[in-house]
Amino acid sequence: MKQTTQTAVRTIEVQRFTVTSSKPFQDVLASLQAQIGQPAMNVFSRDIALAETFEELEGIVSKAIGASGLMEFMRLDLGEILRKQRGTNAPKALRLIVGNPLIMKQMLEHVPDVGSYAPVTILIDERPDGVHLSYDRVASFLSPYRSQQALKVARELDSKVEALLVGAAGSD
């Protein structure tokens, strides 16, 4: 049997949500961390793999998420590279990979490509005008796939993340 390969290119317009805070970087980060679950990922991954039922999996996720309904999967200290060159006065920049596996599952059932967009990225970075918290809306990524079920979940996730960012930026 002859094997074939297909390629495709899809244009996706992305909506970026950004809120700017005059609060110090560490205060913004602490506010975010207070709302996002911080599980030990090696234990979380092991427990997910060992779960024998979906109900067990739901319980594991429920224990891992924070008040926002989200958990941190990973963080990348992008500012570390700048500090190597510029020293401790370099602007801080941090990329948080956050999400909720149960929310992702709801979208994945309808649009397999959602795995490229979830969990989501929150970018926190210092600029001359303040600390920026940026997020690319999942609904904008999923819009071209035309799945109303996935879009409904994505919009709810977008609202959840945006409320988290606005809360972390908060008033001084």
Angstrom CA distances, 63 to 70, 73, 77, 168, stand at 11, 14, 26, 22
Number of domains in the chain: 1
**Cα distance between residue 122 and residue 94, in whole Å:** 8
Which two structure tokens, joined as six digits, stand for 145?
């796939």
**CATH assignment at residue 150:** 3.30.310.70
Amino acid at 82: L
In a domain, 43, yes or no: no
Which pLDDT tens digit goes with each residue over 103-132?
999 999 999 999 999 999 999 999 999 999
In a domain, 116, yes or no: yes
In this structure, are residues 99 and 73 in contact, taking their beta carbons and an 8 Å threshold?
yes
User: Consecutive 10-residue runs of the chain (172 residues): their mean pLDDT?
Assistant: 86 94 96 96 97 97 97 95 89 96 95 92 97 97 93 97 96 56
In a domain, 44, yes or no: no
State residue 89's pLDDT score: 87
| Domain limits for position 114 | 16-37+68-169
E strands, the chain, in order: 16-21, 71-77, 93-99, 120-127, 130-136
Quote the distance between the C-alpha of residue 76 and its chain's center.
12
Predicted TM-score (pTM) of the model is 0.91
**Cα distance between residue 92 and residue 25, in whole Å:** 7
126: left (phi over 0), alpha (psi -120 to 50) or beta: beta
**Cα distance between residue 2 and residue 80, in whole Å:** 49
**Cα distance between residue 68 and residue 54, in whole Å:** 22
State residue 67's pLDDT score: 96
Per cent of the chain over pLDDT 70 is 99
In a domain, 140, yes or no: yes
